Chains A and B, each alone.
Chain A
């Protein structure tokens, strides 16, 4: 059996676990939030319905997904070690790196499916308030794509922390990085203002944390600003590179870990 098949099997099981643990129930909360917002905005605002729905909808997609990515991601490895479910997996012809990669794709798949249903909700709410779709609305798809790239990075970071620390610490690390990364552009700006040794430290830190600010185009899309193809390419390459690095780190640590 090929390694690809094993990775797919582990990913499918991770997805099944998320579904059975009712992770997708968050969609109900999301739907209620968006429906309420659409009705509310439709009644009181003048000409800014679209702006509010797109902003609120995409921000909710991002936040709901980040919370899921962190809280499932941090348990992906540690929970399997703690409950010893890993023993009967790794005593089969499964490489440790295949397990990590399979887990990653399982969680990423869960988030993509979740985002897909949320996207339907966002477009539905938009249609409700604006009564029609316009060409700039297609940019919402780009924003959703960037949100998914954001999820990939967070999933890989949660997995990285999960491979060596407790779920609580992993959650703290992952959430801190998400917050810092959301202000990565400001951090880079600050690094540019410093001098000497401090400049090296600040620049290093600014480039080490994930740059979520470049992936956040929600405001631009809400205001119907155009997004260049170059940005899409840059963000794609950046997210894939960062994810690959974080996953490699997780694999390197997990390959050496004793499962006591």
Chain B
């Protein structure tokens, strides 16, 4: 059973003050997310990611279409006891302390008293806020608020977690911690659906991704599949800063980084390159086929959609 089934959800807003005109925020969207996977919902700003998430959370009503979450109608309030949600740039009741906030959300999620106290302490520890649990949120930094947001999303041990731009506002260490947390959630058997425009995060974390632009789904698939296109080139990495002349003759594009050299050359020159390095007694570190990065795939999909839109116009 898929964790999320989006069946043609679409959204059109009426904009303008006097003369209302329709503005389509999301074309009919069909998407399925399997249980236990980390699914990345990628797109540039204004692509329709947050609108989709808000519709799934029941915050915005779709113009048409339906969805199923964990096998139930997505409008069923009881389904919400099994899902967690972190909004983009979350803002919480700043007169509450982190502990009070989580206790309140625990109450609303239906956690019984004893269990709630234990869970609140657990998640505070998990997101590293135990030391400041008695501090009012108005004194929190952006990164600390993001941690509090993640804590409230996983507080009630949901089966499915929605994160809207979870890395937003975090420093590199904080981003790393969130990535680790998402991987832990996956290991615990939970499904993670997160939107982002930071492609390196998606590439490192996701089992599958969907790319959306201007409210329209542009591509969906496993990260490995999307990035498996071999470009007929290999990347050769060796130790040192020396670039043999024979390597250049093979048409290698070489870059020195620290005490290693990376060279990209045609696949059919691979053996010749190895021989050249052996002759110079240079230590070979790695040879890997050059694959399309998720970023390249993403840019291609976006450019394709721009071209299509241009032709239609």
Give residues in A with beta carbon < 8 Å to B: 1, 5-6, 9-10, 13, 16-17, 20-21, 83-95, 256, 258-260
Contacts and interface: CB of A to CB of B under 8 A. Distances in A.
B77 A95 contact: yes
A17 B91 contact: no
A13 B61 contact: no
B104 interface: yes
A91 B59 contact: yes
A235 B283 CA distance: 93
A90 B91 contact: no
Given A88-B149, A91-B57, 11 more contacts: A1-B107, A1-B110, A87-B59, A89-B108, A91-B85, A92-B105, A93-B80, A94-B108, A256-B61, A258-B60, A260-B13
B60 A260 contact: yes
Given A13-B93, A84-B91, A259 B104 contact: no
17 contacts: A6-B107, A9-B104, A20-B95, A21-B95, A84-B87, A85-B93, A87-B57, A88-B85, A88-B92, A88-B149, A89-B108, A90-B58, A91-B87, A92-B80, A256-B61, A258-B13, A259-B59
A1 B77 CA distance: 12
A121 to B, nearest CB: 26
Contact of B60 (A20, A86, A259): A259
A50 B136 CA distance: 46
Contacts of A16: 95-96
Given A13-B104, A16-B95, A259-B54, A88 B60 contact: no
Nearest to A102: B108
Interface string B85-99: 101011111011000
Nearest to B162: A91
Which of B13, B80, B93, B149 has the most chain A CB within a 10 Å cutoff?
A: B93
A94 B92 CA distance: 17
A90 B57 contact: yes
Given A93-B81, A256-B61, A85 B108 contact: no
A10 B109 CA distance: 12
Contacts of B54: 87, 259
A78 to B, nearest CB: 14
A20 B77 CA distance: 31
B83 interface: yes
Interface string B128-141: 00000000000000
Interface of B: 13, 54, 57-61, 77-78, 80-81, 83-85, 87, 89-93, 95-96, 104-105, 107-110, 149, 152, 162
A86 B87 CA distance: 10
Contacts of B87: 84, 87-88, 91
Nearest to A86: B59
A93 B60 contact: no
Contacts of A95: 77
A95 B58 CA distance: 10
A84 B149 CA distance: 12
Contacts of B57: 87, 90-91
B51 to A, nearest CB: 9
B293 to A, nearest CB: 33
Contact of B109 (A13, A84, A92, A256): A92
B195 to A, nearest CB: 14
Nearest to B110: A1
Contact of B108 (A9, A21, A87): A9
A17 B95 contact: yes
A13 B103 CA distance: 11
A94 B77 contact: yes
Given A16-B95, A259-B59, A93 B90 contact: no
A86 B58 CA distance: 12
B91 A83 contact: yes
Nearest to B78: A93
Given A91-B58, A91-B80, A85 B105 contact: no
